[in-house]
Structure 1
Amino acid sequence: MNLPAELNTLLPDGLFDAVQSASGAAIEQVRPRGGGGASREGAELDLRWPDGRMQTAYMNYDVHRAGAGDDDAFLREAAIIKSLSGQHKAAGVKVAPFIAAIPEKRALLGGFVDGEANFNKLVTPEDRMAVAVDFMDQLAKLHKIDVSASPVEGMGPVSPISTLIDQRIDLLRRRNKGKDWDPLIQLSIDWLADNVPSDLPAPVIVHGDAGPANFLYSNGKVTILLDWELVHYGDPMADLAMLCLRMLFQPFVPLPSAFAAYEAAGGYPVDLDRVRYWRLLFQTGFARASRFNDPDAPPPPNLGMNMVYSTIHRRVLSEALAEAAGMDLEPVALPDSPLGAHHRSFDIALDDIRDIVVPRLADQQAAAKAKGLARLVKWWRDIERFEPGFHEAERVEIGAALGREFTSHAEAWTAYCAAVKAGTLNRKTAIQIANAHATRDAALMADAMGALAKTRFTPLS
């Protein structure tokens, strides 16, 4: 057991005292745990109050402010958990009972709730469906809270959903400028701006990141909804759209079954057109790739895996944009090529990483980075082999679309980007070229992706 003097060293500087001050309880034990998401850390705490009451609590924290969102987002997260533990507890939405929030440390302290996060541990279809039905019931309960009559204290004003959409699109436009400008993102933004849904409902509480791995379950029931950093007032269909995005990399039940369970639990009628709209809006935000080439941006924690996910998001965005625009995409030409001049060197490097480097690494983080490096080596190998042929095919396609001859791929791509920016190229033609570009990028990364190369949105119906 840790001595009291040692407990202080198990949390970042100042957090131990801040927790005791905010909660009014003494910390008797600290057990560091994994946090929520890539940037958060966590700890289980045994607390004792002056009246002798004891409670095991869980705290997640982001003292370096490395995570998504800002301080206002943290305050909204704290507000909703406090509300669902008190003001709106009768709604039956399961959260960790609120104890305290420490905004300056982005630390949130709540009662400990046990459960399993990995949906894949549910083996039978019946067990998977039981948990999924209960999860959709939780979303329905959340959406049924009447915020017009009883807004959440601390979450800010309840604005029309159309205002939220305008703000999101404006943010995407501001980010897609200068050296960060991207034709695929531009095409998606333009479609979103031209096709804002009509007849939007009154705003509800939207979890913002709902789906597998963001809830715990036990004995066939959800025990807690997690990770409320993106909570906001908005369209209930936005939560169903985010479920689609989370299912790109996390298992769940078929969406038609999930949607039927949501409606049966008293949720809003599922509007698939609005689900597609929000799915595209969210995916547009995920698909920005420029940060990998930005010298001012911090390096990602694992470049190989981050490149894999970025490439998938961009190809999926191009396909979702085509679906939203009512297009049937043409097959993309992927010319084959002989082995590259340095193919043997790449393969030797890959063998060394797999057979010698990784087995001798005791450090888990180092081993993960080595495997990420192997993905990059596979990508570099296939760039040498296939990219010249892919560029030639794209040069010809852009020339046909613009009615001009180009002497190089770089010249053709520059002209295509200029036409998209100016709005002079037929939108469907521009989307087809953007999809071909994203599909070829994904083909270059396919061996590095492994099983993820087949990642697609799950059918909505």
Structure 2
Amino acid sequence: MSDPAALLPDGLAAAVETASGARIAAVRPRGGGGASREGAELDLAWSDGRAASAYMNYDVHRAGAGDDAAFLREAAILRALSGPLAGAGVRVAPYYASVPEQRALVCGLVAGRDRFAAIADPAQRDALAQDFMAQLAALHRIDVAASPVEGMGPVEPAEAYIRRRVASLRAANGGQAWDPLIHLSLDWLEANVPTDMPAPVIVHGDAGPGNFLYEGNRVTALLDWELVHYGDPMADLAMLCLRMLFQGFVPLPQAFAAYEAAGGHRVDLARLRYWRLLFQTGFARRSRYDDPDAPPPPNLGMNLVYSTIHRRVLSEALAEAAGVALPAVALPDAAPGAHERSFAIALDDIRDTIVPRLADQQAAVKAKGLARLVKWWRAIERYQPGFHEAEKAEIEGALRRRFADHAAAWAAYREAVAAGRIGTAPAIILCNAHEAREATLMADAMGSLAATKFAPLE
């Protein structure tokens, strides 16, 4: 019999066995949490005769969201909701073990499906959405002043979280990778911090469709707690808006009404919009996968899709928040590139030969991610030269200078934003045009996600 440990990164199986007190009898690699983590199903066996199937997320390269402290908070909340806070009624997968050194979290398998959009019956969709919003309300009703979660750190006002998060994002936005879109968004966020926020609650941090399991009309478990923190309950409703960029749900006014009816906080749309922009700014940080010092992502194709969508949507949301009207973006057409046929053959091979023969689900997911990259490279060859010419002309008009090439123009634009030598409105307009063109290059790879926008709040 082959060694199950061989299917996991070096040392991970032994560490899980030590932390859980169980022997790993079998390993089945699976896709991980979104684009940020890898995963595996485990069969666990204890010396006293107990056995269980479990799911493990792991991020040994630290390529995912959050940091080591965030991982400890995630493990802490699952341990608490499986134990001392179980009476709150928030349904989670039972906690078994965690390995902080490899960001591995092991919880029991829970019955249920995760594709809310696959539900065809409107009545079931409405009832399930109502139960999900009731789960958020139950989480937000936990009295953290009386019962702080061991391992989640001190309970602090939501404003402290905002100030720390903005400072962290600003500190990370530096060096050669300095990003004008992130800079402009952080300027607005820093100048418009909400006032009169309620006492802090436990915020799931990534709540929405795709991050809960269900059977029938009932949520069986809330998933993916890697962004959990203490803060404003409106933060979870804002994250629901972000999740809906990628997966369908019921209309937001209906969801908000269900949340309030279940005993949740009064929905404050102004605060919700603020949190939506803050989270979007964090997710929109430019990918560093061409940096040899950056960790490799679990699925580069999907990571780039998510990053591209977040950046385009951020540029639009920032313009709305700042009251900037966005003009139409010039997207010059071009003939297929010189390597069009080579790209087409590679895509056909992946779709028709490679993916159908892959029994390993994790390998199949990565093969599809590779197909997205091939589509992106094909679009870069075809469209990028014309897009660069259009952007160069726009920057020359805004800065009233001529440049030798696109690289020089873009560098001058970045310098003007950093030094405050360009007005906020023209700076945001140029950022939006840049992100719209980047999204167009990724459009074929994004498929149905290419035109996604925030759902209406009211």
Q: Give the alignment's TM-score, normalised by structure 2.
A: 0.88
1:333 counterpart residue number: 330
2:389 counterpart residue number: 392
2:343 counterpart residue number: 350
Distance 2:209 2:370 in 1: 28
Indicate whether 1:412 and 2:405 are aligned.
no
2:221 counterpart residue number: 224
1:262 counterpart residue number: 259
Q: SS of the counterpart of 2:289?
A: helix
**Count of residue correspondences:** 451
Q: Is the 8 A contact 1:327 1:428 kept in 2?
A: yes
1:460 counterpart residue number: 457
Structure 1 residue 147, shift from structure 2 partner: 0.8
Indicate whether 1:45 and 2:43 are aligned.
yes
Provide, for residues 275-314 of structure 1, a one-character-per-residue CA deviation record: whole Å limited to 9, x for no partner. 1111111111221224033232234344444333322221
Q: Is the 8 A contact 1:36 1:227 kept in 2?
A: no
| Residue range with higher mean Cα deviation, 234-243 or 410-419 | 410-419
Amino acid corresponding to residue 264 of structure 2 in structure 1: G
- Report the RMSD for the aligned CA atoms in angstroms: 2.8
1:60 counterpart residue number: 56
2:290 counterpart residue number: 293
Structure 1 residue 136, shift from structure 2 partner: 0.7
Indicate whether 1:69 and 2:42 are aligned.
no
Counterpart pick for 1:92 among 86, 89, 92: 89
Counterpart pick for 1:433 among 430, 434, 437: 430
Provide, for residues 324-374 of structure 1, a one-character-per-residue CA deviation record: whole Å limited to 9, x for no partner. 11233111122334x1562xx31x113312444543323466665555454
Distance 2:390 2:59 in 1: 49
Structure 1 residue 110, shift from structure 2 partner: 4.0
Task: Call closer, same or farther: CA 1:357–1:224 in 2, change over 3 Å.
Answer: closer
Q: Is the 8 A contact 1:350 1:374 kept in 2?
A: no
| Residue range with higher mean Cα deviation, 265-274 or 283-292 | 283-292
| Residue range with higher mean Cα deviation, 433-442 or 443-452 | 443-452
Distance 1:111 1:307 in 2: 31
Amino acid corresponding to residue 62 of structure 1 in structure 2: Y
Task: Call closer, same or farther: CA 1:117–1:33 in 2, change over 3 Å.
Answer: farther
Indicate whether 1:114 and 2:108 are aligned.
no
Structure 1 residue 221, shift from structure 2 partner: 0.2
Distance 1:341 1:71 in 2: 44
Task: Call closer, same or farther: CA 1:438–1:11 in 2, change over 3 Å.
Answer: closer
Q: Is the 8 A contact 1:28 1:48 kept in 2?
A: no
Name which structure has the greater RCO, CA cutoff 8 Å, separation 6+: 2
Distance 1:425 1:64 in 2: 42
Amino acid corresponding to residue 43 of structure 1 in structure 2: E
Structure 1 gaps of 5+ residues are none
1:135 counterpart residue number: 132
Amino acid corresponding to residue 310 of structure 2 in structure 1: H
Q: Is the 8 A contact 1:192 1:281 kept in 2?
A: yes
Distance 2:59 2:252 in 1: 37
Q: SS of the counterpart of 1:454?
A: coil
Structure 1 residue 183, shift from structure 2 partner: 0.9
Amino acid corresponding to residue 219 of structure 1 in structure 2: G
Q: SS of the counterpart of 1:82?
A: helix
2:160 counterpart residue number: 163
Distance 1:234 1:73 in 2: 14
Structure 1 residue 170, shift from structure 2 partner: 0.9
Distance 1:366 1:295 in 2: 23
Structure 1 residue 433, shift from structure 2 partner: 1.1
Structure 1 residue 48, shift from structure 2 partner: 4.9
Q: Is the 8 A contact 2:204 2:227 kept in 1?
A: yes
Indicate whether 1:34 and 2:34 are aligned.
no
Structure 2 gaps of 5+ residues are none
Task: Call closer, same or farther: CA 1:119–1:287 in 2, change over 3 Å.
Answer: same
Amino acid corresponding to residue 446 of structure 2 in structure 1: M
Distance 1:408 1:296 in 2: 28
Structure 1 residue 232, shift from structure 2 partner: 0.8
Q: SS of the counterpart of 1:60?
A: strand
Distance 2:168 2:436 in 1: 26
Structure 1 residue 249, shift from structure 2 partner: 1.3
Distance 2:393 2:230 in 1: 47
Task: Call closer, same or farther: CA 1:445–1:356 in 2, change over 3 Å.
Answer: closer
Task: Call closer, same or farther: CA 1:259–1:378 in 2, change over 3 Å.
Answer: same
Distance 1:327 1:259 in 2: 28
Structure 1 residue 166, shift from structure 2 partner: 1.0
Amino acid corresponding to residue 350 of structure 1 in structure 2: F
Larger Cα-atom Rg: 1
Amino acid corresponding to residue 43 of structure 2 in structure 1: L
Provide, for residues 46-84 of structure 1, a one-character-per-residue CA deviation record: whole Å limited to 9, x for no partner. 54564x6x4535242527354443332232222212222
| Residue range with higher mean Cα deviation, 138-147 or 253-262 | 253-262
Q: Give the alignment's TM-score, normalised by structure 1.
A: 0.88
Q: Is the 8 A contact 1:159 1:203 kept in 2?
A: yes
